[in-house]
């Protein structure tokens, strides 16, 4: 395979991964919107919603860290598939 073909495959993999992450984030947002609408009728569940939001932030940090590692690998001509 030519270098350009490898770069294209790596780019397609990254776009696919980003699309998956975007869909997951949209689902998280929809869930939180629904939960917040439920909470607006009272304070019940507010702490639960805060905990969910905190855990989602932690999950995003993990995803960002993995993505940064992947970007770093691609700068060196490697892909995450070479490591994982």
Encode pLDDT of 22-69 as tens digits. Answer: 999 999 898 888 877 777 776 667 777 788 888 888 888 887 776 666
Q: Which residues contact 42 (CB under 8 A, 6 or more apart)?
A: none
Q: What is the pLDDT at residue 14?
A: 92
* Confidence check: pLDDT of 75 > 60: no
* Confidence check: pLDDT of 70 > 80: no
- Residue 75 DSSP label: H
Global confidence as pTM: 0.47
Map tokens 């590692």 to a residue. Answer: 69
Residue range 7-13: mean pLDDT, rounded? 89
């Amino acid at each position: 395979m030519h270098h350009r073909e490898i770069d294209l495959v790596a780019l397609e993999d990254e776009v696919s991964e980003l699309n998956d992450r975007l869909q997951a984030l949209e689902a998280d947002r929809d869930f939180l919107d629904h939960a917040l609408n439920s909470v607006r009728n009272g304070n019940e569940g507010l702490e639960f919603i805060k905990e969910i939001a905190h855990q989602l932030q932690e999950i995003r940090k993990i995803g960002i860290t993995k993505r940064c590692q992947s970007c770093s690998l691609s700068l060196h001509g490697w892909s995450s598939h070479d490591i994982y």
